[in-house]
């Protein structure tokens, strides 16, 4: 149970970082 949660969190980290990079690009592009 705990291992599965950690694995899911670790596997979602690149996805979250990728989304944050896109959001940052969009926000900075507005200014």
What is residue 19's predicted lDDT score, i.e. its pLDDT? 87
Which of 15, 16, 17, 10 lies closest to 2 in space, CA to CA?
Answer: 10
pLDDT by 10s per residue, the chain, length 31: 566 666 676 677 778 888 888 888 888 887 6
What is residue 3's predicted lDDT score, i.e. its pLDDT? 65
Which of 12, 16, 20 lies closest to 4 in space, CA to CA?
Answer: 12
Tokens of 19: 């989304």
Q: What is the DSSP string of 1-31?
A: -HHHHHHHHHHHHHHHHHHHHHHHHHHHHH-
What is residue 26's predicted lDDT score, i.e. its pLDDT? 86
């Amino acid at each position: 149970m705990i291992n599965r949660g950690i694995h899911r969190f670790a596997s979602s980290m690149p996805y979250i970082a990728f989304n944050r990079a896109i959001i940052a690009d969009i926000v900075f592009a507005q200014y």
